[in-house]
Amino acid sequence: VHERRLTIDDVILRYFTNPKRIFHIQDQPETWAEIDLNKKYEINSKETFTKCGWTPFDGWNVTGMIRNVVLRGKVVYNDRKVLAERGFGKNLRNKKS
């Protein structure tokens, strides 16, 4: 979005609408993410939330950062900190709408 290669509608389509359709994910009340489209920062493997503990994007300077994630009415992520308790998520695999 920042480099004007995608519009905000393109991002919503690719990261929300299409995955929801492909994986048959139902609407989730009180669930959303807040993104700061202008925040610049450097990706650091030590600060990522991955099973393997690293990212091929380590050291990249990017624009746009997730600020908050609210899941079922509860803030589960805020400014680079996961706040949800282990087990709070739901397995949505194989659930058809």
pLDDT digits (tens), the chain, 97 positions: 888 899 999 999 998 999 999 988 888 889 999 999 999 999 999 888 888 989 999 999 999 999 999 999 999 999 989 999 988 888 776 655 4
70 phi and psi angles, rounded to 5 deg: -115, 125
Indicate the pairing of strand 81-82 with strand 32-42.
unpaired
- In the chain, helix, strand, coil percent, each to 5? 20, 30, 50
In whole angstroms, what is the distance from residue 52 CA to residue 42 CA?
Answer: 19
The pTM of the full predicted model, rounded to 2 decimals, is 0.76
Residue 93: predicted pLDDT: 66
Q: Is 94 left (phi over 0), alpha (psi -120 to 50) or beta?
A: left
CATH 3.40.50.1100 fits 8-82, yes or no: no
* Every domain of the chain and the residues it spans: 8-82
* pLDDT value of residue 42: 96
| Best CA proximity match to 78, nearest among 59, 60, 65, 95 | 65
